[in-house]
Structure 1
């Protein structure tokens, strides 16, 4: 079942008085395994549910750790041929990892699913390297600005 614009307007933010509930996870590369393991254990004990979007299963907390373990050598390749001086110049030249492999794997898994197809309200903070500015994608912003309804 596809969501319509009117069904999107019915989603209310999770507020409790003056408080807003936010789950923020920042593992910093391969350290993302740590919060992924915590989430997996939390949801293992809190519910027994499965989620699907059309015919394609979406990521669940239990999927993150195996994903990292399988793909981390290609997402975060280690160049063992550089010495200390080489590593210094590389760090000044730009990002340590180009992100191409991660982008390709995520695109393969998620396809063309847009933000408005998520089953819950989401906020995805990103950084636009062309404008050197942060960009925030959220299920709330697409109500006012439909061009923010990008692919996940």
Structure 2
């Protein structure tokens, strides 16, 4: 959600013709480099229509080891933001300018945001290191599912590529600002 808010803020600045930003057209993704690092998502609970039809109002709030309405909302908002941004960047043929990395299927304490024990933090470091060496995924715009990206490689490869793009952009802006002075 924060990534969508950040892109919206940049767009608002561009639309208002802020002097702090480079001149561009609104929503021109070619001029944006967006990296979105997720905090991870819990292993997906499988809720079926048959299960939900028996819950009633309280059942959506209280199930053994889960709160379906919260789980579904959180999962949907994460996927919708990623799908929207992927679609927006893809439509303008600048999908390489958007990078999303998210750990999926976290379980136990690792899936909770308020467990800061030494053991859990150690586990999270291990999950992050494993995520670096996992295949880089992108959203399949036909299915909405995350799949290995066409460019291939790992998340580490994608981050290195993105860091180079950011570095090149920084050097370009520095050279432009030195020519003005």
Confirm or deny a common fold (TM above 0.5).
Answer: no
> TM-score band, normalised by the shorter chain?
0.3 to 0.5
Higher helix share: 2
Between structure 1 and structure 2, the one with the greater Rg is 2
Q: TM-score, normalised by structure 2?
A: 0.29
